[in-house]
Amino acid sequence: MLKARIAVLVSGGGTNLQALIDAQGRGELSHGEIVLVVSGTTGAYALERARRHQIPALAIDRKNCSGGLEFEQKLKAALEDYRIDLIILAGFMTILSPAFIQSYPQRIINVHPALIPTFCGKGFYGLRVHRAALEYGVKVTGATVHYVNEIPDGGRILLQKAVDVLPGDTPERLQRRVMEQAEWVLLPEAAELVSKRIMEEKENEGCGCR
């Protein structure tokens, strides 16, 4: 069966990438296949995870680019080389330009470590999100997987899962619980959901049904 060709964009440890690779290994990603991992920095451990699983892994070092435009041009060239159908932002800490996003309508998804529309948007990433949630005193937080549009964390929500905040939580402990209970569950589910949709659309286009 033909599968949606997936690129996972990462910046750091890559535990969400690992969740996707593991789901693929268990056969849970039946309509998609991870064919490329791209990092915006050379040192990301996520690249090592990809290589261990024989997935092509590419670092496009933003520091060696003259600016965002050059970075996105290189990224786009790689995505075209690998004929990518679906882009998954898994802890990718760079905000992509509207022009880039518009060239992949409904083809980019992102995992965010809070229940959007809370603790999201510009400046809310990684541990900062959990720090803000604890400072506010929320009793429930969670994770969201959403389509990416021009507004940071503003695209249509695909999946959400709530996670309890517990007494004595630190940002690190809360981050770990949100990952374990929500992100690592939701992201593979969303990847399969969107891959299935993309392949159905391709099939319909191919048979001239629409």
Catalytic residues: 112
Nearest-CB residue for ligand GAR? 91
Question: 109 is written with which tokens?
Answer: 């998804």
Its sign, for the CA torsion 21, 22, 27, 29, is negative
Chain residues that interact with ligand GAR, rule: CB under 6 A: 10, 12-16, 46, 90-91, 111-113, 125-126, 129, 179, 183
Residue number, 126 or 171, with CB nearest to ligand GAR: 126
Tokens 């083809």 sit on residue: 107
Residue number, 108 or 199, with CB nearest to ligand GAR: 108
Q: How far is the CB of 57 from ligand GAR (least distance, A)?
A: 14
User: Is the separation of the CB atoms in 138 and 166 below 8 Å?
Assistant: no
Length of the chain measured in residues: 210
Q: Count how many Cα atoms sit within 13 Å of the Cα of residue 73 in the half-sphere of its side chain.
A: 7
CA 1 to mean position of chain CA atoms? 24
Residue number, 4 or 90, with CB nearest to ligand GAR: 90
Name the helix (H) or strand (E) containing 198. helix 184-206
Q: How far is the CB of 12 from ligand GAR (least distance, A)?
A: 4
Tokens 């040192």 sit on residue: 43
Q: How far is the CB of 83 from ligand GAR (least distance, A)?
A: 25
Q: How far is the CB of 135 from ligand GAR (least distance, A)?
A: 16
Its sign, for the CA torsion 53, 29, 92, 38, is positive
Residue number, 31 or 177, with CB nearest to ligand GAR: 177
